[in-house]
Structure 1
Amino acid sequence: MHKLIHVDGCGETGGGGKLLGGLLQGRQKPVKVNEDKGGLLRGIECFALDMDGTVYLGERWIDGAKDFLEAIERLGKRYVFVTNNSSKSPEVYVEKLGRMGLEAGVDKIITSGQAAIAYLKKHYPGKRVFLLGNDLLKQEFAGEGIYLEEERPEVVVTAFDTTLDYGKMCKVCDFVRGGLPYIATHPDYNCPTEEGFIPDAGAIHAFIHASAGRYPDRVIGKPNGDIIDYLVERTGAAKEKIVMVGDRLYTDIAAGKNNGLKGVLVLSGEASLKDLEESEVRPDLVFASVKEMIPFLG
């Protein structure tokens, strides 16, 4: 299990830097941890929250996450969940959150699968699509009018397929090798779970590249702009009033920094202090978890 890293005291980070008085000392400019002296969070109207590794792991809330969500709403602000995980439909996320004691509608869920559907409708209307994904995602695509085709597609879309097998990989590699437009829902290499990390869509892309010699022509999910455009369209919020909160520097935080949003890194999932020290992606704020953000919300 990936455990929460507490960073509110002094000591070694295990990542080549030291925590001294709440500062991460490394090769780059020191980063303040668990602080928001500039009041950035007070001015935010919409919190775009990653899910896996940010508010929960598996079926377990990360400590303080529900209190964080309640605090946002108590202050008259709002939140949406923005996940790159395309292996589940919005309805499945709603059911899961309900089992965990949170009543949330599908309007609070934004997935890379939904953003990919919007992209296909805009750029490849009516085209036959080979979708490397599980049955839930296939049902979602078909329900939105995307024509799925196994033998003679015009476009290839790859997702986080938790039912992946060798036959599927052979087929998708053939289509990609043949030069079809190649779109991916998201780039994440690993997905955090209660038991540890499992290979995600980025690992599938690496397999395809090794065989077919191509990476995706377009990646929809974080950190890329397509999912942010979809987020802004769905919420109606101004970019400067939205903050992306997540546990991955190369997806969540880069999504904010590359596309006009603020970015807050939490150390409760994939990213470690060593990753932060070595990364060129610099979040606006860093917290041990969303729990430590609560005092700074308003």
Structure 2
Amino acid sequence: MSDNRIKVNADPDHLLDRIKCFALDMDGTIYLGEQWIDGARDFLNRVEETGRKYVFMTNNSSKSADVYFDKLERMGLKIRPEQLITSGHATVDFLKKNFPGKKVFLLGNPMLTAEFEKMGIPLDDEHPDLVITAFDTSLDYKKMCKVCDFVREGLPYIATHPDFNCPTETGFIPDAGSIHAFIEASTKRRPDKVIGKPNREIVEYTLKMTHCTEKETAMVGDRLYTDIAAGVNNGLTGIFVLSGEAQLKDLPDSDVKPHLIFDSVKQMIPCL
């Protein structure tokens, strides 16, 4: 579909009629910092009023699920555990299916380390069977050397997500993709598998958690190369909102073309 044929704030083909679950990016789609995007709460209410469901989906593996639960509760929304999909949780699911019982060297901060241990993943900093790299906000030179040693040895090398930068209220900070870049510079290896958006693994985990099919699920987000790509490349309906990072001017140069475009989730309400 050519991007110049997509009408903003409209669903002329009634694609939303078949949607039973909305997988929602968070920052830039539902809120900015600690502030709800205008109409976001009304949108969430409308989704539930029409008998549909929603889940939040984030690539950020530097924060535990409890951080998101607490933040949303401070903002007046209480969600159930199954309504939060993180790249960390999707990575644990992938490990349990593909590397059951294997010992993991985890390049991650204490919050993610605690989650992996709580979810039954055996961690080993000395004699691991494979390497997992995440958005490690506690990264230091000793860790950098150790992860490169294990990757250079040829151990299976899996990453939670691909984002190069993480947006903050004061600008961007290096994210997991930047960590992959320094590992590649030292070892000449890229991750064997990346779990988070836009990749299939986090989509499969989401479908398992929501009990919905691809055709029944919409991926809503403000980033073309992660959120929208996760949708359109995996059989979901990709809905691009202009309330965050990317804008209409970015579409002509993008290989990813959304199915629908809205100024924000507020404009989706009349179509539900």
Which interval holds the TM-score relative to the shorter structure?
over 0.9
SS at match of 2:252: helix
Kindly indicate whether residue 212 of structure 2 is the aligned counterpart of residue 227 of structure 1: no
Unaligned stretches of 5+ in structure 1? 1-26
Kindly indicate whether residue 17 of structure 2 is the aligned counterpart of residue 42 of structure 1: yes
Distance 1:60 1:178 in 2: 46
Q: CA deviation at 1:196?
A: 2.6
Structure 1 counterpart of 2:259, from 269, 279, 284: 284
Kindly indicate whether residue 228 of structure 2 is the aligned counterpart of residue 261 of structure 1: no
SS at match of 2:17: helix
Q: CA deviation at 1:29?
A: 4.0
Aligned length: 271
Structure 2 counterpart of 1:129, from 76, 81, 104: 104
Q: Deviations over 1:97-132 (max 9, x none)?
A: 000111112121011111100111111111110111
Structure-1 residue corresponding to 2:129: 154
Q: CA deviation at 1:233?
A: 0.9
Q: CA deviation at 1:157?
A: 0.3
TM-score by length of 2: 0.95
Structure-2 residue corresponding to 1:251: 226
Q: After the TM superposition, which of the residue ranges 176-185 and 38-47 deviates more from structure 2?
A: 38-47
Letter in 1 for 2:192: D
Structure 1 counterpart of 2:87, from 94, 112, 115: 112
Kindly indicate whether residue 50 of structure 2 is the aligned counterpart of residue 66 of structure 1: no
CA distance 1:136–1:238, shift in 2 (3 Å): same
Contact kept, 8 Å, 1:85 with 1:111, in 2: the verdict is yes
CA distance 1:193–1:67, shift in 2 (3 Å): farther
Structure 2 counterpart of 1:194, from 166, 169, 185: 169
Contact kept, 8 Å, 1:52 with 1:191, in 2: the verdict is no
1:167-178 alignment, distance < 5 Å: 167-178=142-153
Q: CA deviation at 1:198?
A: 2.2
Q: CA deviation at 1:137?
A: 0.7
Q: Deviations over 1:9-62 (max 9, x none)?
A: xxxxxxxxxxxxxxxxxx964432222122212321100111122112222222
The percentage of aligned residue pairs carrying the same residue is: 64
- Runs of 4+ in structure 1 displaced over 6 angstroms? none
Unaligned stretches of 5+ in structure 2? none
TM-score by length of 1: 0.87
Contact kept, 8 Å, 1:83 with 1:112, in 2: the verdict is yes
SS at match of 2:215: helix
Q: CA deviation at 1:133?
A: 0.8
Distance 2:229 2:137 in 1: 26
Contact kept, 8 Å, 2:28 with 2:222, in 1: the verdict is yes
CA distance 1:272–1:209, shift in 2 (3 Å): farther
Structure 2 counterpart of 1:75, from 35, 38, 50: 50
Kindly indicate whether residue 211 of structure 2 is the aligned counterpart of residue 239 of structure 1: no
